[in-house]
């Protein structure tokens, strides 16, 4: 085992060194060359979307094959559509009035941490945004998804080489150990860490003393307000939560609604495949969902309601899409108030939208602050109040949260790394794009009359101070004479 650990660390060092050499080539390519290179990745990802999706499901046991195909295609097609016309080389902005010119410069070799929940789509997405911004990237897979992540990285690497890039532009650890991952994080050839994964790994990325872009967990409340189209709202929530069995961090985690429409909402959930758990069944399900320390049991991640019910020892109707447990509070005593990357929802009833607003904030503070919230409503005043008051950077309206958050059903930037800002311990609140992976040189010209303005204001300041000093001296002289 010691030999394997040493070999993994050596592999990490070799990958970083080779990527550093490849970075020199990327530094010199044009926008046209970068775009041609990225398009080659998009095409390769599209061809391999189904194979990689099947590998991901088989290796991890998480999610749904068809949805992982969609994720892979989203990470290639939708991301490409978003970035293809974005300038990332040379002059990218010019302000003629202020005489400022901005010039894009690569940040350098990127280390990409890859989660087990989206192991192939994250590779496709990060490879595309990295090469679009002319940065080499090295992937560190999650141990439980090492094979499919490596396979996805190979697809991207081969496409890049066939398009004329040197081999080191895309790399991936084949020997996955904590030692190798830490070695990559700290390697002098790595300039930035792009971290998508568990909070522990993201915190580790921020602790190594170099630039990092990490994301916090999502604990997304979905509020159904009294003016909402209840049937459509429930359909949207189910679509968002059930997509890939809830493995996207922006997926809905709790439904919050008002007393006056509670029964209608519950009836609609039942009609569309929701199963409301008894309090006894909630305890049984929580016993499977969480470990003794309160963390998510990996065996429950991305599982269907049938699997969860079987493991929890309960019976559910055929065709159940999601398990729902009513909760009265938030915190340790109410486990369903936490993030659940699977097909289980918490359910809260509040007196009015003001109380619902407070409940949503409590849920966000329990583990999703800064990330995402979704509101289903036709009342623009309430929608705006939620946007102003909620401590999140994505307030989604009348859309499935998991798909809206990543930019699939909304106009947000298509991305699989969603920053939660300083509230969530992240260096960015953006849906991370190539523009987050460039440095900006600024060319600044002398402005006419600027020195005259400075001189004028400086003279006024000096005169003012001089008068003040003179008044002080006169008062002292008068005082002494008296």
Distance, CA of 286 to chain centre: 26
Query: What CATH number belongs to 2-215+432-440?
Result: 3.40.605.10
**How far is the CA of 381 from the CAs of 259, 364, 384, 385, in angstroms?**
20, 22, 5, 6
415, 393 in Cβ contact below 8 A?
no
Which amino acids are annotated catalytic?
249
Phi-psi region for residue 150, left (φ > 0), alpha (ψ -120 to 50) or beta? alpha
Number of other CB atoms surrounding residue 143 within 10 Å: 12
**How far is the CA of 226 from the CAs of 221, 327, 353, 401, in angstroms?**
16, 20, 8, 19
Q: How far apart are CA 382 and CA 388, in angstroms?
A: 10
**How far is the CA of 51 from the CAs of 113, 151, 475, in angstroms?**
22, 10, 88
Dihedral over Cα of 328, 334, 336, 340: its sign: positive
From first to last of its 482 residues, the chain has per-residue pLDDT tens of: 668 989 999 999 999 999 999 999 999 999 999 999 999 999 999 999 999 999 999 999 999 999 999 999 999 999 999 999 999 999 999 999 999 999 999 999 999 999 999 999 999 999 999 999 999 999 999 999 999 999 999 999 999 999 999 999 999 999 999 999 999 999 999 999 999 876 777 778 888 889 999 887 899 999 999 999 999 999 999 999 999 999 999 999 999 999 999 999 999 999 999 999 999 999 999 999 998 888 899 999 999 999 999 999 999 999 999 999 999 999 999 999 999 999 999 999 999 999 999 999 999 999 899 999 999 999 999 999 989 988 999 999 999 999 999 999 999 999 999 999 999 888 899 999 999 999 999 999 999 876 666 555 555 544 444 566 656 655 665 565 55
Out of 1.10.10.10, 3.40.309.10, 1.10.940.10, 1.10.3720.10, the CATH code matching 220-406 is 3.40.309.10
182, 155 in Cβ contact below 8 A?
no
Break the chain into its structural domains and give their ranges.
Answer: 2-215+432-440, 220-406
Q: How far apart are CA 264 and CA 204, in angstroms?
A: 45
């Amino acid at each position: 085992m010691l030999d394997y650990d040493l070999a993994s660390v050596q592999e990490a060092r070799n990958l970083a060194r080779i990527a550093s050499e490849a970075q020199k080539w990327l530094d010199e390519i044009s926008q046209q060359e970068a775009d041609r290179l990225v398009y080659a990745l998009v095409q390769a990802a599209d061809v391999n979307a189904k194979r990689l999706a099947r590998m991901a499901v088989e290796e991890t046991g998480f999610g749904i094959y068809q949805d992982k195909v969609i994720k892979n295609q989203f990470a290639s097609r939708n991301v490409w559509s978003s970035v293809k016309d974005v300038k990332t080389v040379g002059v990218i902005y010019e302000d003629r009035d202020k005489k400022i010119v901005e010039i894009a410069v690569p940040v350098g070799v990127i280390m990409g941490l890859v989660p087990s929940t989206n192991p192939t789509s994250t590779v496709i997405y990060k490879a595309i945004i990295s090469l679009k911004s002319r940065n080499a990237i090295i992937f560190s897979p999650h141990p439980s998804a090492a094979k499919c992540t490596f396979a996805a990285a190979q697809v991207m690497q081969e496409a890049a080489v066939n398009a004329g890039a040197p081999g080191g532009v895309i790399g991936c650890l084949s020997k996955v150990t904590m030692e190798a991952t830490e070695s990559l994080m700290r390697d002098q050839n790595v300039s930035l860490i792009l971290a998508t994964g568990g909070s522990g790994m993201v915190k580790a990325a921020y602790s190594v003393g170099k630039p990092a872009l990490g994301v916090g967990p999502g604990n997304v409340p979905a509020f159904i307000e009294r003016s909402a189209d209840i049937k459509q709202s429930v359909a949207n929530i189910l679509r968002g939560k059930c997509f890939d069995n809830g493995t996207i961090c922006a997926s809905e985690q709790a439904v919050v609604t008002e007393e006056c429409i509670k029964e209608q909402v519950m009836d609609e959930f039942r009609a569309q495949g929701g199963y409301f758990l008894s309090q006894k069944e909630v305890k049984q399900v929580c016993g499977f969902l969480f470990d003794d320390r309160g963390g998510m049991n990996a065996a429950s991640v991305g599982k269907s309601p049938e699997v969860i019910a079987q493991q929890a020892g309960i019976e559910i109707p055929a065709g159940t899409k999601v398990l729902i447990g009513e909760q009265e509070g938030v915190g340790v005593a109410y486990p369903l108030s936490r993030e659940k990357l699977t097909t289980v929802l918490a359910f809260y009833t509040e007196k009015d939208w003001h109380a619902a607003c407070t409940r949503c904030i409590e849920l966000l503070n329990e583990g999703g602050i800064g990330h995402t919230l979704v509101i289903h409503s036709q009342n623009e005043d309430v929608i705006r109040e939620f946007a102003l008051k909620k401590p999140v950077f994505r307030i989604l309206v009348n859309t499935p949260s998991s798909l809206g958050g990543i930019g699939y059903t909304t106009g947000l930037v298509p991305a699989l790394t969603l920053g939660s800002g300083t509230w969530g311990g992240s260096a960015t609140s953006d849906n991370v794009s190539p523009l987050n992976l460039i440095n900006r040189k600024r060319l600044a010209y002398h402005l006419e009359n600027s020195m005259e303005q400075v001189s004028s204001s400086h003279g006024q300041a000096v005169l003012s101070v001089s008068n003040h000093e003179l008044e002080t001296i006169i008062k002292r002289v008068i005082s002494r004479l008296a």
